[in-house]
Copies of this chain bind each other. A is one copy, B any other.
Amino acid sequence: MSSRLNPIAVFDSGLGGLTVVRQLMRRLPGERIIYFGDTARVPYGIKSAETVTRFAEEDIEFLQGFAPKLIIAACNTASAAALPRLDGKCAVPLCGVVKPGAKAAVRKTRNGRIGVIGTEATVESGSYRRCIADLNSDIKIVARACPLLVPLVEEGRTSGDPIVRAVLKEYLRPLKEAGVDTVVLGCTHYPLLKPGIRKVMGSGVQIVDSARETAQEAADILVDSGRVAPARAGLRHRFFASDHPERFARLGRRFLGRELGQVRLVQPELLNGCLALRVAKKA
């Protein structure tokens, strides 16, 4: 049984999950965070459910080495594709970003029409649709894949950029036409474009930031099990990436809202090695 001083481990295909870490730091300031960004294989959003599940298994295996009390899949694609298959197989509680976002949207909508935007894989997986329908089957859902938003954010563009404005206008049109009153940001990169999304959708529409909702869910899990870490001085978070740690540290600032400090490279062989051993055992 892990103690309340054990860390929270977070993984994502790359940088996006840092928006979840940002909210965790706000909501749970006593927690030590271990973050892994799988930048050697980013993005997960255009890959098959099988491949994403395999990647997520390897990410989780790596993070278990830090004896976390909770592991967060801070990646909509991994949460959508892999968590349902991995739930129960992992000794540590697992939490994704899809359920918290879906729950918040159902709570917030007044007219029963919810829009969901995400990567191709997240939208194709239908996970938000299922999750929302499980909570309230009367709700109408309009989902739209927005494959350009991640590269736009990673290129450093913000809501004021004319290309970002044009792309948002095009992507959000079907959501506006359907008259949704709530939009779920179904990708951890999207909180960085919240001002632009709010502007296109209009002030009457509520934006559900799944990063924020996930931090709340993590807090609930820890409170329920009496494992919230007390506020403490000298907390040292650790960041790992499977490729390009300098690029990760440089771009990561904008996602985290502060400096990351040192980002360590995880030799991708380590991840592949674990897998190769498993494959060898199966064969």
Q: Which residues of A contact B (CB under 8 A)?
A: 39-42, 46-48, 51, 54, 147-148, 151-152, 154-155, 162-163, 166-167, 170, 243-244, 247, 268-269, 272-273, 275-277, 279
- CA gap between A247 and B152 in the complex, in Å: 23
A279 surroundings in chain B (CB, below 8 A): 269, 273
Q: Known contacts A41-B40, A41-B41: does B244 contact A48 (CB below 8 Å)?
A: yes
Q: How far is the CB of A1 from chain B (nearest CB, A)?
A: 34
Q: How far is the CB of A230 from chain B (nearest CB, A)?
A: 39
Q: Which residue of the partner chain, among B46, B148, B272, contacts A148 with CB atoms under 8 Å?
A: B148
Among A39, A151, A166, the one with the most B-chain Cβ atoms within 10 Å of its Cβ is A151
Q: Is the CB of B151 within 8 A of A148?
A: yes
Q: Is the CB of B269 within 8 A of A276?
A: yes
Supply 12 further A-B pairs (C-beta < 8 A) apart from A40-B47, A51-B244.
A46-B154, A46-B244, A46-B247, A47-B243, A147-B155, A148-B151, A151-B151, A269-B275, A272-B275, A272-B276, A273-B276, A276-B276
Q: Which residue of the partner chain, among B40, B46, B47, contacts A51 with CB atoms under 8 Å?
A: B40
- CA gap between A11 and B272 in the complex, in Å: 21
Name 21 A/B residue pairs within 8 A (Cβ), A-sorted.
A39-B47, A40-B41, A40-B47, A40-B51, A42-B46, A46-B247, A48-B243, A48-B244, A51-B268, A147-B155, A148-B151, A148-B163, A162-B166, A163-B163, A163-B166, A269-B279, A272-B276, A273-B276, A275-B276, A276-B276, A276-B277
- CA gap between A152 and B151 in the complex, in Å: 10
Q: Is the CB of B39 within 8 A of A244?
A: no
A273 surroundings in chain B (CB, below 8 A): 276, 279
- CA gap between A249 and B118 in the complex, in Å: 23
A51 surroundings in chain B (CB, below 8 A): 40, 243-244, 268
Q: How far is the CB of A78 from chain B (nearest CB, A)?
A: 15
